[in-house]
Chains A and B, each alone.
Chain A
Amino acid sequence: MSAISPAPSFATRWWNGTGVVRLRREGAVAPIGAFVVFFVVYVIINPALLTRFQLQTAANLVVPLALVALGQLIIVLVGGIDISIGAIMSLCNVVFAVQLETMPVPVAILLSMGVGLACGLFNGLLVAYGGLPAIAVTLASAFIFGSLAREVLDRPGGGVTKEIYLATSGELLPFVPVALVWLAVVAVLLWLLLQRTALGRHIYGVGSNMESVRAAGLNARLTKLLAFGLAGVITSFGAMMLAASTVTGDPRSGDPYLLSSIAAVALAGAAFTGGRGSIIGTILAACTLGLIGNLLFFAGVNSYWQYVISALIIVAVVGIPVVWKRIAFAARGARS
């Protein structure tokens, strides 16, 4: 677990007394709790998770989802939602895979990131400067990016090689899957950006109350635009990790991540009105959702149950605090 959770959660606790408060405000407590419970159950049912092979498989399963969920989180933080995130992922995925056939690896990576950035900025321009609702804009761009992805590569293929697989999805050290290291690097950088730069705080502020941010003399539209661009880049990381771990580019590979990225952000306790949501919560939520299928497999349960259980976990984790507050209020009222 310590390998999955990036340093920040400890860092905030040590350096800054507000860290715990912030985690609570950002809704991260419930998903962290849910993950701990889930992890304990998992290890009890399947202690073999802690073997090298299984750790690596599990990491390769959850890391793309965690990265895409982080992209979705950034959009949600500025008060939007990205319906096109699956299509962006597909597009970055095939661009990466196709470019690898002819170009050196760094160029392919940069191109894929560039495509993610461009997609994000396209959405961001229309949302921030066009004043259009994010959900409708990204619905349109979902069609557009999806069709572009299939123009680039119309069936699974591309030039992903074994070396790339090892570099992204192999093992760095025994018991340390590379994928988790990459995720940790991205998460820490993102955490630094969101918590330790003014831009990051602006992103939270724009989602919390855009008009207040503008009234304070800050460029709220630019902040929103940059948030969309950033989300696009992070999504492209997820796309590349997916391409590498499956050793193929697939123009439909991103489709399932649309709903699951939103589900992960919801499970992370982020506010869909914007302004609240945590990185650590999102990563752990993605891990929980991503590993349910595995858990069921090892528990000997039909793994189709994973869909049912995921849904119930989301509703429970998001809904229980609401019900709890209501009960607590009623109890308080009855006492007084």
Chain B
Amino acid sequence: MSDPTAPGPAPATTAAPLLAATDLVKSYGPVKAVQGVTFHCNPGEVLALVGENGAGKSTVAKMLAGAVTPTSGSITVAGEPLASGSVKQSRLSGVRCAFQELALVPDWTVAENLSLPDGAPLRGFSQKKSVAKAKQLLEALHLPQIDPRAAVDTLSLADRQLVEIARALAGDPKLLILDEASSALTPPGVAWLFARIRELTARGGSVIYVSHRLGEIAEIADRGTVLRDGKVAGEFVRGGWTDDELISMMAGREAERFFPSPPPRTTDAVALSVENLRAEGLHGIDLSLGAGEILGIGGLQGHGQAELLRALFGASPAQADSWTVGGRRIRRTTPVRAVANGLGYVPEDRKREGLALEMSVGENLLAPWYRAYQLGGRPRLSRERGWIDGILNALSVRTRGPNELAGSLSGGNQQKLVFGRWMNRDRTVILLHDPTRGIDVRAKQELYGAIVDLAKQGVGILWFSTEVEELVHVCHRVVVLYQGQVADELIDHRLTADNVVGAAVGATGSLAAQTAAAASGAPISSPPNSNVAQEGLVR
């Protein structure tokens, strides 16, 4: 094993590597997403590319796939330079990629998605033949349960991911890039994926496995390269590493994560309660959130967490046998009524659902508080200057001021705006959809602090996170969802990362046991109610 603390060029190994990436750089304007990454991958090898969110893994994977043109640096495949910036050229060179965010066309059928990317546009196209071909391919890949005639947007998220992987495998690639391709897969699905990877490497193909799930990497990766802040932070080989070493490599100086503890509860008042909440993807949820309580929601992606938050906020229709907010009974709700009832919501996609990027920082903070007949715009901003400055200071939002456009802030600061608009506004409950995803460590710390402060003020916090450590350390209590129902409720000594992960896969057994069970023929697809979520599982 190489020294984890010494980042450096790839060690010289046997023969010619299949893939060699040298000094890759990618800049977006002044921001360097990737700065001088060098690594190689030998034939028949599984190379893991690991790092935290935003470390540059995806950008590197996309440069290999031809989806992103490197600013500088070179990539060679089997000694031949790879024409940069063309997916088609990469495919012709035998490089296939399954993207993290699905690259399937939603209105095409599975068969069309599998067959159309190959071949000239003016070639004839036969539904019948492509369906037959797709059926053959899916059966060869042990995916007979997927109907090649189904339109992709009618499939579950997990099935779509399987199709995406199948498409990448279809051309018998020399180099397969899997960019967080297991994020929506159930343990049986992951086992399926590993079986395919082993088949491929047995034939001499290579795999670049981009992930931040250490468990999977331990099982499948021969070697690995760790990225941090767009640079190579270290390398490792199979068996020569521990979780802790890798985590500290990934996190760098932030290795010792600081998680604030939840504040002591001072009241038994109930901020929010529902009994038998039903909605699309939710099958009868009972939940009670106390004032000043931080209640975590855990589980695999697509098991109803997003639906739960949306339903509670009235963003999607829902019904419950009994439903109270701040002690007041309600029957059903809409976002307008939810805000009036004292709720606040930090949605999943800050750019599309959280902010108006072309409007100013101040107006984005004020958005929920605009009333038709009151002042708006600059006069309102100056009137509310005290509140706005208070929020910007409390969250250390790095901005030139309330008049800067929200779109010009960095991701972490944007997220703070979506969160900040509910602060000091007399909220009873705040619903958080994975607010710390994809933001830098410092912004995370600031958000943790703000969440704890709100809880101290007696606000009930319902917090869905994909990061188990957050849930375990910052929450009073964690409810784990599985297939749209509450699988387990964890508190005090039972609130451990293992228990959260165990409940998330639908049993109290370990992940490994699940995987083993799956290998012996359990169904691969996840339940069909998993269309909403996007990103990864707990590690």
Contact = CB atoms under 8 A, between A and B. Distances in A.
Interface residues of A, number: 38
Given A205-B105, A212-B102, A16 B120 contact: no
A301 B102 CA distance: 55
A96 interface: no
B149 A17 contact: yes
Interface string B97-135: 001001111111100110011011111111110010000
Contact of A208 (B86, B106, B117, B317): B106
A211 B87 CA distance: 12
Given A196-B124, A196-B125, A329 B317 contact: yes
A336 interface: yes
Contacts, number: 101
A195 B127 contact: yes
Interface string A187-225: 000000001111111101101110111111111001100
Interface residues of B, number: 37
A15 B128 contact: yes
Q: Which of B102, B107, B108 has its CB near the most chain A CB atoms (within 10 A)?
A: B107
B534 interface: no
B43 interface: no
A64 to B, nearest CB: 29
B1 to A, nearest CB: 36
A23 to B, nearest CB: 13
Given A195-B127, A333-B319, A215 B108 contact: no
Contact of A214 (B87, B108, B119, B317): B87
Given A198-B119, A198-B120, A198-B122, A205 B108 contact: yes
A222 B121 CA distance: 10
B127 A16 contact: yes
A219 B66 CA distance: 13
B88 interface: yes
B116 A216 contact: yes
Given A198-B122, A202-B116, A217-B91, A212 B149 contact: no
A214 B85 CA distance: 11
Contacts of A276: 107
B108 A197 contact: no
Contact of A217 (B66, B102, B127): B66
A202 B90 CA distance: 20
Contact of A212 (B66, B104, B119): B104
A227 B427 CA distance: 52
A18 interface: yes
A215 B87 CA distance: 7
B450 interface: no
Contacts of A218: 88, 116-117, 121
Interface of B: 66-67, 86-88, 90-91, 99, 102-109, 112-113, 116-117, 119-128, 131, 149, 151, 167, 278, 317, 319
7 contacts: A15-B128, A18-B131, A21-B149, A197-B124, A202-B121, A204-B108, A333-B319
Interface of A: 15-18, 21, 25, 195-202, 204-205, 207-209, 211-219, 222-223, 226, 275-276, 329-330, 333-334, 336
Given A198-B125, A215-B67, A217-B86, 14 more contacts: A16-B128, A18-B109, A195-B125, A198-B121, A201-B125, A202-B121, A205-B108, A207-B107, A216-B167, A217-B90, A218-B121, A330-B317, A333-B319, A334-B319
